[in-house]
Amino acid sequence: MRYPHRDLLARLALTAALLVAPALARAQSGDGPLNRADYRLDARVTAPRTIEATAIVRWTHRSDTPAATAEWHLYANAFARGSLFLRTLSGGAHRGNAPGAGGSIELHSLALASGEELLPSATADFGDADRTRLRVTLPRPVPRDVETVFSLRFTVRLPDAFSRSGCGDRFCFAGQWFPKLAVYERDGRWSTFALHAQSEFYADFGRYELTVDAPATATVFATGRRIRAPEFNAPGRARHAFALARAHDCAFGWSERGLVRDAVISSRNERDGDDPDAPRPVLVRAVYTAPDAVGAERAIALAQRALPALERRYGPYPYDALTIVVAPRDAAGIGGMEYPGLVTVESNPFAPSFVRAVEYVTAHELAHQWFYGVIATNEHSEPALDEGLCEFATGLVFDELYGEPSLARAFGLGVSFWAMQGAFSNLERDTGPILRNATLFADFDSYANVVYRRTSALFDSVRREHPAALDRALARYAREQRFRHPTGRDLLRALRAEPELARTVDAVIEPAFTTRSSLGDRVPSAQRFIEHNRGSGSLLPLSSRLSTVFAVLLRWIGP
């Protein structure tokens, strides 16, 4: 038994969540002006798994409290021996993938534009026995609206492909690879955290300019759009340049066996992410290896239909480029992750076409372009605001594209997306509040079943009673919080703005968010996990045990 004291841990987690949630919500409300952090990153691939890099970071904060320190995330140290991330893996794996050779980031210099070196004042660990965050003391407090320029030099060593970053066979992906400035909240508090295995990320919006110097034989891809043709300035080397504005992350990769397929998504929307001038289409670029050619085609086809469906609900996709990276089998840990303007997916060439696994993961990661991308909630403190709403949006897209049952259809039977959400939700014994810190879940199964599935099932139950009102409320929330950092309080306010939803928010949604999340009869039971695909959609009676078997079989198809 991995967690012999699971019930006690759950009770303690619930108590802690109720104690800390109000303070977090006050600090991170989406109201008011937000900070800006612009990055100019220059990366050189010097060995198969090594990146030598520099960064210029221009930071302007909007807090009335002068900043006396600067805090940084060094996420790449999560792959170093002894990190909190590795210590908190569920069963020694991250979403089914076990770690191999480790990785790290070494910071050689962190200086102000004046040349004053700040590393001698640096503090790491913060009592976590972890090196994924760093604090430096500034020579003088920085007042509001004053730009501070930092210059950094660092080395990144990528791990075996695992949990969003690393290398397989002649394929590397650098995710969360650079020192990232934390968010300085309006109350004068730095929002940093040691990276936990169940946590994700949080950062300010800004413009990212990236150059990558890599072997000339490699296919190089990145977040953003390519701003000029590759330059071949040295024998056997090529220099690539990308840019992305109004974003809060940057990732790139390279492959010696990568293939590329381009497509276009027509759109009449203006792009407000990078140099907006007029409505224009979105260029979709899939990067894949030969065994995954069919999966790449399926991912592109899904994106061409799903992205317009998401735009109609939540506003324009902000960028004029979208990159879909199909992770090869030897780098499976890279798949199923989102970045502004780039998503990674997995494709099993042996998976039958009637199971929409590739489509599901692709649609989920595309929905993240809104719920985490444009609407940049704190994924560490309130993960349900991105993963849960993203999963719900995925289900709506599947309903629109495929009808019910949408996840799989064969031999007159189908797997229902919404019944699957209800099955996972009801089979999970954790009944703590949905809206709590990612570290307060006993393991990844509890995290996934509550944050992804129960949140999605909750909103589906509301949608079945008030479809138009819920659509209007979420559209308003997405519009009002575009390029902001909203919290659960902002979401509840948007829902309450619809008179038809006010009573449901008070009686159902807010209690599930903050007190107890068991939904009982409000969501489909495990006995509805499999539905007929014919006639009026009558249900095939199945025992809970058999339904549980189906749930386990599909456990790993999700993002």
Helix or strand or coil: residue 147?
coil
Structural domain including 128 reads 24-204
Dihedral (Cα; 411, 302, 352, 99), 10-degree rounding: -140
Pairing relationship of beta strands 206-215 and 36-47 according to DSSP bridges: parallel
Average pLDDT of the residues in 175-193: 94
Asked whether residue 535 carries a pLDDT value surpassing 60, the answer given is no
pLDDT category of residue 183 using cuts at 50, 70 and 90: very high
Average pLDDT of the residues in 331-348: 93
The HSE-up count of residue 514 (CA atoms within 13 Å, CB side) is 18
Q: Is residue 18 part of a domain?
A: no
Q: In the chain, how many domains are there?
A: 2
pLDDT value of position 22: 34
The Cα–Cα gap between 523 and 449 comes to: 13
Q: Is residue 268 part of a domain?
A: no
The Cα–Cα gap between 181 and 73 comes to: 6
Q: Is residue 138 part of a domain?
A: yes
Q: Could you read off the pLDDT of 301-313 as tens digits, one per residue?
A: 999 999 999 999 9
Asked whether residue 266 carries a pLDDT value surpassing 50, the answer given is yes
Which of 157, 178, 204 is the endpoint of a domain? 204
Q: Could you read off the pLDDT of 393-412 as tens digits, one per residue?
A: 999 999 999 998 888 888 87
The Cα–Cα gap between 471 and 100 comes to: 44
Percentage of residues in the chain with pLDDT exceeding 90? 73
Q: Is residue 239 part of a domain?
A: no
Which of 180, 204, 228 is the endpoint of a domain? 204
pLDDT value of position 416: 87
Identify the DSSP state of 143. Answer: P
169 phi/psi in degrees, rounded to 5: -80, 105
Average pLDDT of the residues in 456-480: 96
Q: Is residue 252 part of a domain?
A: no
The Cα–Cα gap between 531 and 449 comes to: 21
pLDDT category of residue 491 using cuts at 50, 70 and 90: very high
Q: Could you read off the pLDDT of 80-137 as tens digits, one per residue?
A: 999 999 999 998 888 778 889 999 999 999 999 999 999 998 998 888 888 999 999 9
Which of 189, 204, 219 is the endpoint of a domain? 204
Query: Hey, which bits of 3-132 come out as E strands?
Result: 36-47, 50-60, 67-73, 104-112, 123-124
CATH no. for residue 463? Answer: 1.10.390.10
Average pLDDT of the residues in 361-378: 96
Q: Is residue 135 part of a domain?
A: yes
pLDDT value of position 276: 54
Q: Is residue 455 part of a domain?
A: yes
pLDDT value of position 30: 56
Average pLDDT of the residues in 254-280: 79
Cis amide prior to 230 (ω within 30 degrees): no
What is the three-state SS of 369-388?
CCECCCECCCCCCCCHHHHH
Average pLDDT of the residues in 318-330: 95
Rg of the chain over Cα atoms, rounded to whole angstroms, equals: 23
pLDDT value of position 272: 74
Asked whether residue 50 carries a pLDDT value surpassing 90, the answer given is yes
Asked whether residue 143 carries a pLDDT value surpassing 90, the answer given is yes
One-letter amino acid at 7 equals D
Q: Could you read off the pLDDT of 30-48 as tens digits, one per residue?
A: 555 589 999 999 999 999 9
pLDDT category of residue 170 using cuts at 50, 70 and 90: very high
Q: Could you read off the pLDDT of 411-453 as tens digits, one per residue?
A: 878 888 998 898 888 889 999 999 999 999 999 999 999 999 9
Q: Following DSSP, what letter does each residue of 406-451 receive, concatenated?
A: -SEEETTEEE-HHHHHHHHHHH----S-SSS-GGGSSSHHHHIIII
How many CB atoms neighbour CB 87 within 10 A? 12
Average pLDDT of the residues in 497-518: 95
Contact 246, 373 (CB under 8 A): no
Q: Is residue 9 part of a domain?
A: no
pLDDT category of residue 558 using cuts at 50, 70 and 90: very low
pLDDT value of position 426: 87
Percentage of residues in the chain with pLDDT exceeding 70? 85
pLDDT value of position 521: 63
Q: Could you read off the pLDDT of 452-461 as tens digits, one per residue?
A: 999 999 999 9
Helix or strand or coil: residue 550?
helix
2 phi/psi in degrees, rounded to 5: -75, -35
Asked whether residue 24 carries a pLDDT value surpassing 60, the answer given is no
How many CB atoms neighbour CB 349 within 10 A? 11
552 phi/psi in degrees, rounded to 5: -65, -40
CATH no. for residue 98? Answer: 2.60.40
The contacts of residue 35 (CB under 8 Å, 6+ apart) are 59, 60, 61, 62, 63, 183, 184, 204
The Cα–Cα gap between 235 and 534 comes to: 62
Asked whether residue 549 carries a pLDDT value surpassing 60, the answer given is no
Asked whether residue 515 carries a pLDDT value surpassing 60, the answer given is yes
Nearest to residue 124, comparing CAs of 84, 87, 94? 84
Contact 59, 150 (CB under 8 A): yes
pLDDT category of residue 194 using cuts at 50, 70 and 90: very high
Quote the mean pLDDT of the chain: 87
pLDDT value of position 277: 53
pLDDT value of position 188: 92
Average pLDDT of the residues in 40-66: 96
